[in-house]
Structure 1
């Protein structure tokens, strides 16, 4: 049976470090296997790590300094409420991570994340009502998502 896993190429030999960071900080995450790929017995090619992020299977590869992760890929981290937004935003932007617009940020390894509270999804609906559109406009002005501001926008305030 076919399956799909995300495969991330890390530039600075950080694949295992990143996998361990996610396992330590994101619920339902774990490192499942680390090995070195080889073409000849004494010639390592790259370190490979298999891990899960919130139950999603991922393969990480130390691919060399010429490769860089970018916003074309992101983990969408759905959380419950402002406390979890604040908690994960702090974890992901610490030690060299970067805040971004509209709930996006990068962690210290260069992986992009969207830290999105369920309330944003609920209040945005299908973006067709005036209340949904106000929520979208409010979100577009934010870095880290502010649930209270989203609710105020939905209510017309």
Structure 2
């Protein structure tokens, strides 16, 4: 992993390697990098995974097995911009499987507690439409949804 630019560090409690492999399986342009292990005398068991470098959808991450002290919250989330309903459905399904939780307005938590926003490009177009009534109708429709339904957004924006 290079040291230029940004790398997102995700703190896990013993699930860093499992999570890294999961994210690599969900996104294209993804791979596992170096894995570091805890040495003797460290706060975790010697030989257990300390960090896993990985790339998901071209974004660099470091998964750290830091222990139970910290948990993920919705205060930080990753946005996935999608071009179609099929893509929305794919990411929604893959990220909620195995214990993830659907949330409101396109948000979800995956099985590790990481928050994601699955955002179709069409949602952004409709909620920022120059016609304020159209944008308001699309926004109001979005507020009633869990997973975003592009056809329902378009129907609401059109006044139907």
**Match for 1:9 among 1, 11, 32?**
11
Secondary structure of the equivalent of 1:43? coil
TM-score by length of 2: 0.88
CA-to-aligned-CA distance 1:2-50 (integer Å, 9 cap, x gap): 5222111112x11111110011111122211211255xxx234561111
* TM-align CA RMSD: 1.8
- Pairs within 5 Å for 1:76-91: 76-91=79-94
- Pairs within 5 Å for 1:115-154: 115-125=118-128, 129-154=132-157
Q: Equivalents in 2 of 1:81, 1:139: separation in Å? A: 16
Q: How far is the alpha carbon of 1:84 from its aligned partner? A: 1.1
Q: Which runs of 5+ in 1 are unaligned?
A: none
Q: Equivalents in 1 of 2:5, 2:38: separation in Å? A: 21
**Match for 1:48 among 32, 47, 51?**
51
Q: Which runs of 5+ in 2 are unaligned?
A: 45-49
4+ residue segments displaced more than 6 Å: none
Q: Which has the higher strand share?
A: 1
TM-score by length of 1: 0.89
Q: Paired residues, what number?
A: 153
Report the counterpart of residue 67 of structure 1 in structure 2: 70
Q: Equivalents in 1 of 2:5, 2:130: separation in Å? A: 32
